[in-house]
Amino acid sequence: MKENVVIITGCSTGIGRNLAQTLFARGYRVVATARRLETIKDIPAALHLELDVTKQASVDAAISQTLTRLGRIDYLVNNAGHSVRAAIEDMDEKPAREMFDVNLWGLIRVTRAVLPHMRKRKAGRIIHVGSVVGKFTMPINGAYSASKHAVEAIANAMRVELKPFNIQVVLIEPGTINTQFMSSSIAKSQEQFDNSVSPYAKIYERFRTISAHPARKGALPKEVSQVIVRAMEAKHPKARYLAAVGPLYRAILIMNDRLRDSLMAKLFLK
C-alpha cells in the first residue's frame, strides 16, 4: 500500500480534507489538491498541488507534476464540487453552468487526464464522489441534482468502457454531510432565497427552515471517508456505495414517483 499514489480533488474542506488525512495515515502517497494552494498546506501529503478542475491547463499541470515526482497514479478520487440552489424558473444560467463545469466537466477533465497513464499500466481505480440526490430530486435542488444525475451516467458508462484496461470505476453516493457545503450553497444562492416577490418564496423559506433543523446536521466527513477507503481497498469493488445516508433518504430511494412527490409536497409546500 505504501507505493500506492492517490490524487484527490477538492481537499480544502470537508470530505476531501478528511480523506487526504485518513489515507496519508494509512500509508498512501497522497496528492492533495485544491483551487487555492494555501488552503491545503497543513494537510499531511506527499504532494500539495494547485488544481482548478475548470481549467484544462491546471488539470494537465497537476497530473504531469504527480507523474514526474511520484511516477504513477493508482487512484483518482474526483471529490471537487459545489452547489447553487433555486427553483428551476429562478435559476440563473451563469451560476448553473459554473456548477456543471465543476461537478461534471471538471470530473471529466481530471479523469481524461489520468486515463492515458492508467491505460498504459492496465491498472487503476477511479472513485467518483456523486450524491444520493443523483437518484432523487428535491424542490430547489433540481440543477444540483441534475449535475449528480449526470455523474451517475458517466460512472455507468465508464465502468464498461474501461473494463478492458483493468480500470475500475466506483461511485460514492453520500447523504447529508456536516461540512461547509450546505452553508456555502445557500450563500451562493442568497439572491434567489431573499427574493420575496418570487413565486417560490415560501418554498425557499421552507427549505431554509428544514436545512437549519438539528436533524439535518448530517454525518461527519469521516463517515464518507471510511466508505471511500473501503471502495479503494476492496478486491472486487461494488459499482456504487451509499455513504452516510439516513433512514429518510433510504426510504425515499425505494418510493414510487407518486409517493415521493406527495412526501416532497408535504415537506416543502406547508
Pairwise CA distance, residues 108 & 102, whole Å = 9
Verify whether residue 241 is a known catalytic residue: no
Of the candidates 28, 144, 200, 204, the residue annotated as catalytic is 144
Instruction: Judge contact between 74 and 5, C-beta under 8 A.
Output: yes
Cα–Cα distance list, 163 to 109, 185, 216 (Å)? 20, 36, 38
Instruction: Judge contact between 201 and 195, C-beta under 8 A.
Output: yes
Residue 225's identity, in one-letter code, is S
Instruction: Judge contact between 145 and 138, C-beta under 8 A.
Output: yes
Angle value at C-alpha 36, between 81 and 43, nearest 5 degrees? 90
Provide the b/e sequence for 78-111 (b: ≥16 CB within 10 Å). Answer: bbbbbbbbbbeebbeeebbeebbebbbbbbbbbb
Of the candidates 64, 67, 69, 17, which has an alpha carbon nearest to the alpha carbon of residue 44? 17
Which positions are annotated as active-site residues? 144
